[in-house]
Amino acid sequence: MAANTSRRVQVLNRVLHAQVNVKETSGVEMPVVDLEPPPPGASQEYQTLLNSDAVNFVAQLVDTFDDRVEQLHWHRLNRKCTLKKTWQMPQFLDTGVRREKNWKVAQVPERLRNRHLDLGDVSPANTEHFTSSLLADVQGIQVDFDDGHCPTWRNQIIGLHNVYRAVHNLIPGAPVIEKAPVLMLRPRAWNMVEHNMLVNGKEVAGPLFDFGLLMYHNAQCLFQAHSGPFFYLSKVEGANEAQLWNDIFIWAQEKLGIPQGTIKACVLIENILSSYEMEEILFALKEHSLGLNCGIWDYAASVICKFGERREFVLPDRNKYVNMERHFLKCYMQLVVQTCHRRGAHATGGMAALLLPSTSDTYFTAIYEVCKAKLQEIKTGVDGFMVYDLRLIQHINKLWEVSAPRENQLSVTLDGITVTAQDLIQMPSGGVTFAGLKHNISVAILFIYNWLQGRGHFYHHGAVEDSATAEISRSQIWQWIRHQTCMEDHPGAVTKSLVNKLAVEFVMQFKATEKHRRLLEAASDVFMQIVTKRNFPDFITTYLNDSHIFWASQNNCSQQSHL
């Protein structure tokens, strides 16, 4: 404890000293920074990333936009309360942006004209996977600090440093950044906080911390290499949030001396409310837009988050009854394609989470299933999508070559299709299955269990699972308990006692060491808290990030690493 306190004081003194120097030379009042010391084993990476100038850049970014971030959260809360109080349903906005037929987003640079295939859920903290991705035959890499990443202090430092190494051509065996797949940098979403940095006595918004360091250290190199900086923006809930990002982009480009419009960003439409403001989102990011992306499980979970207390919005077993062929999701993807292409922007689909099996009897069946689903997205008109398993790349590249060899499908406008406000919230028919309930329990518990060990995604039953699948899993169980939903193939309803019984049975089936047994039991306890809360927790990752269990697990890991 004494050593940690000493290191923290040293870091704080170093940052404050740098601020005094800047203040003396510029006459500008600088924000006060309180920064945690480096995590064990990452001191060199920390020193590279968090030098005085970089810290000052992030601090100024936070100081400039923190009030806007607070307004964003108040707007979200007010909107949610209004929907809950009035039971009104969202509608498309009647704006001049929507009525004006001629505006287009700015053209994208050459490296972004073909968006056929990105690798998804690539946490840069996983050095081996990140390096393998840099060698892959894909157009882009979703460099993920969000859904597929656990933001421990160590993971943030190692992940940000690995991006720095890739951009500055410091990874042995990796291609130079001009020849590597485009890095699509995905900072954390607005619901996440960086607990290890305070500015003016207040914890920093996670996306500002990530974006600030990514830009400060990499923007000039990426610009010179005609390779960025390019971003994915997660969990945006409306045009006001897109406008905030746009203003942040303008500020950062001006501060770093790169041309306005250099940054390009793709907004993930993974919230039901954002689907009613797609055109306004594109317009807000007009000079910086890289189009919109579909994310099925976060999107479906957001329906439960906003409307889940109403019985008519009970979502059936997701494995059996929820897929992109169901009306509300099919219309959602059609609207993304239609809106983007009308405005000259790219529209991209979701990620294939399936992992190819090692046994030959099911290997080709799995490839067929992935290609079948992705072919349907191509036929809808998407310009690209993501996969996780690198072994799928050759098959997906062949699929694009055969079915849509052009570099994009911007000419597919879907003019004959009309998507109504009601189409987007038409829940699919179907019931709850006992197998679906058990699957959701296992995914949610295992996600929490892995999160407590610093991992943001894991493999389960032949697929990669991350916070998006954990969100839909725990959301459905919360909803099924709330409405005492009956199962179609098992007597009785979904209740707290039944879910708890199944959770205990799931934990007991593992042959684990004492340490991992305790972590599994802790994960199960947290899971039961989340799915029985009176008021629905908006994000599982926020709940976990603020949990004392998570903090304790990371402190234990740090102490063990230090020892």
**Residues annotated as catalytic (active site), given as ranges:** 186, 466
Per the CB < 8 A criterion, the answer to whether 154 and 41 are in contact is yes
**Residues whose CB falls within 8 Å of the CB of residue 500, separated by 6 or more in sequence, listed in order:** 528
Per the CB < 8 A criterion, the answer to whether 269 and 293 are in contact is yes
Residue type, 38: P
Is the bond into 207 cis (omega within 30 degrees of 0)? Answer: no
Q: At which residue do the structure tokens 């809106």 appear? A: 339
Residue type, 131: T
Separation in Å, CA 157 to CA 49, 378, 494: 8, 37, 42
* Entry field: residues in the chain: 563
- CA–CA dist 373, 299 (Å, integer): 18
Per the CB < 8 A criterion, the answer to whether 328 and 275 are in contact is no
Q: Which helix (H) or strand (E) holds 166?
A: helix 153-167
Half-sphere CA count of 59, side-chain side, radius 13 A: 25
DSSP letter, residue 432 = B
CA-closest candidate to residue 472, choices 295, 290, 207: 295
